Amino acid sequence: MKKSKVALSVILATGMLNAGVVAAMPVVEAGQPIVTGEPSRVGPPWNHRSTINIPGTKTDIAFGGYIKLDMLYDADYDLGDATSPFNLLNPAANATDGRTDFTAYESRLNFRSHTQTDYGNLNTFFEVHFLPDGKLNLRHAYGEYAGFLAGHTWTNFMSFVGTTRTLALGDPIGYANERQGQIRYTHRLGDGALSVALEDPDTVIARPDVSIASEESRLPDLTLRYEYQRMLALSGVVRELSTNDNIGSVDDKATGYGAQVQFSLPLLASTRLNGSYAIGSGIGNYMGNPGNINHKYAPDVYVKNGSLETVDIHGGGVSLNHNWNPQWFSSIGYSRLEQDLPKNQGYDTHFDKVDYAFANVIWDVTERLMVGAEYQYADLDTIGGDKRDASRLQLSAQYQF
């Protein structure tokens, strides 16, 4: 696997030498007319694609994605192919005196369709990438029609209003970040939109308790979100957390809940202050990303005297974002995630709080080529009182197609 990563990385790096003479593929920017069908506007503007009409139909399709090379240097701990501060919880496996890794696992492929009907467009979107193991893994698979969405995609509890552009995959630690199956309805309200969804439930039990308790989710999670333009987002979640006593010895249920607010405020003509704050109890699997494999590091519940207790958790962050000109962008940010688990009761290896900071500079060489550099710093305290920190330098090249 390591050889395949290096081989693909060398090919990508070599391609950068010819970047200056490669013509950018046409991009359909929002609001601009196209020859056929509808423009595909999934994701940020640089990910928009021209669509291709299927002759004799009202359906347009588009293929897209990108190839991304991440060149990583870890000074203290290996933070993984996609930066994960949770790697600090396993120092025996991840401690290093200095480590370089080239990987293209974040590269992705997607397909989308747009069919015109008497009641509006019927849209579908499908996307895969190669994280975390170099194999094709699902990111998105959903359809949309008349305000209804059904499939696997970003949870309705999260938003992109208060996030920023980073080289590290995903939002910084402390932001709600999750993809899962759901059915959602969105209703436009003037310059805003209100969305309500029923989502795939998971009761995540703290690691020391999985031998006596087995999760069993009876009801879907209920999420609600309101967004106003690209300036404000308010969201909430309510969920039932339960166990199955046919497998474990614990038979109980508890209620989880949470709320999040995100904002994006213009400070100057080319500068914005973005931020997010979330708080709740029993919502660890919404807050555990990025890198929280099976979400066991940020559990929803733990067992106390044979009963389920929800884990209180809160997190948030701010970032200052500046466009130097149409091609150069920089962002600097700080975030924190903190949870409340009891001490001296077997949870000492779980995190108590995680602080994360980053600074980057990104150059959009063309509409289809981006290069950048980013410094990342993570500081983690465990429930048992251990403290660890790590620094990473990431250089990236991303080719859109």
Q: In terms of pLDDT, which residue wins out, 2 or 268?
A: 268
pLDDT of residue 211: 79
Q: What is the mean pLDDT of residues 25-54?
A: 49
**How far is it, in rounded angstroms, from Cα 376 to Cα 167?**
10
Rounded mean pLDDT of the chain?
A: 86
Q: How many percent of the chain have pLDDT more than 90?
A: 63
> Is residue 62 very low, low, confident or very high in pLDDT (cuts 50, 70, 90)?
confident
Distance CA 6, CA 101 (A): 8
pLDDT digits (tens, 9 = 90+) for 354-379: 999 999 999 999 988 999 999 999 99
pLDDT at 260 over 60: yes
- 64 confidence band (pLDDT: 50, 70, 90): confident
330 or 177, higher pLDDT = 330
Collapsing DSSP to helix, strand or coil, 140 comes out as strand
Q: Residue 28: is its pLDDT beyond 80?
A: no
Measured CA to CA, the distance from residue 322 to residue 362 in angstroms comes to 11
* 213-217, 240-244, 274-278: which is most confident: 274-278
Mean pLDDT of 144-169: 94
pTM of the model: 0.86
Location of structure tokens 């992705």: 108
The pLDDT of residue 346 is: 87
pLDDT of residue 10: 44
Domains delineated in the chain:
2-400 (2.40.160.10)
- 151, pLDDT greater than 60: yes
d(CA 168, CA 82): 6
Give the per-residue pLDDT at 23: 31
Q: Please determine, for residue 6, whether its predicted confidence score (pLDDT) is greater than 70.
A: no
Condensed to tens digits (0 to 9), the pLDDT of residues 278-308 reads 999 999 989 876 434 545 678 999 999 888 9
pLDDT score recorded for residue 202? 85
| Length of the chain, in residues | 401
E strand or H helix at 91? helix 91-94
Please check whether residue 252 is in contact with residue 308, taking contact to mean a CB–CB distance below 8 angstroms.
yes
Pairing assessment for the beta strands 271-281 and 312-323 based on DSSP bridges: antiparallel
Per-residue pLDDT, averaged over 51-72, amounts to 89
What pLDDT does 5 receive? 53
pLDDT of residue 214: 83
Structure confidence by residue, pLDDT tens digits, 219-255:
999 999 999 998 999 999 999 999 877 677 788 899 9
The pLDDT of residue 243 is 86
Question: Residue 66: phi, psi to the nearest 5?
Answer: -155, 160
Q: Report which of residues 306 and 51 the model is more confident about.
A: 306
Between these two residues, 289 and 122, which has the higher pLDDT value?
122
Please name the amino acid found at residue 330.
Answer: S
Enumerate residues 6+ apart whose C-beta is below 8 A from 98: 73, 74, 75
Residue predicted with more confidence, 253 or 30: 253
Q: Cβ of 291: how many Cβ atoms within 10 Å?
A: 21
pLDDT at residue 206 is higher than 70: yes
Residue 207, token pair as written in the block: 């690691």
What pLDDT, on a 0 to 100 scale, did the predictor assign at position 56? 87
Answer whether residue 328 shows pLDDT above 50: yes
- Percent of the chain at pLDDT > 70 equals 85
DSSP summary character for residue 214: -
**Amino acid 126: pLDDT:** 94
Q: Cα 90 from chain centroid?
A: 22
Give the pLDDT score at 21.
34
* Three-state SS sequence of 143-210: EEECCEEEEEEECCCCCCCCCCCCCCCCCCCCCCCCEEEEEEEEEEECCEEEEEEEECCCCCECHHHC
- Residue 289 has a pLDDT of 60
**pLDDT at residue 19 above 50?**
no
Burial 303-336 (b: 16+ CB within 10 A, else e): beeeebbbbebbbbbbbbbeeeeeeebbbbbbbb
CA atoms of 54 and 126, how far apart (whole Å): 18
Contacts of 21 (CB under 8 A, 6+ apart): none
Residue 46 confidence (pLDDT) above 90: no
Number of H helices, E strands in the chain: 3, 20
DSSP annotation string for 277-303:
EEEEES-HHHH--SS-GGGTTS-SEEE
What is the pLDDT, as a whole number, of residue 8?
A: 46
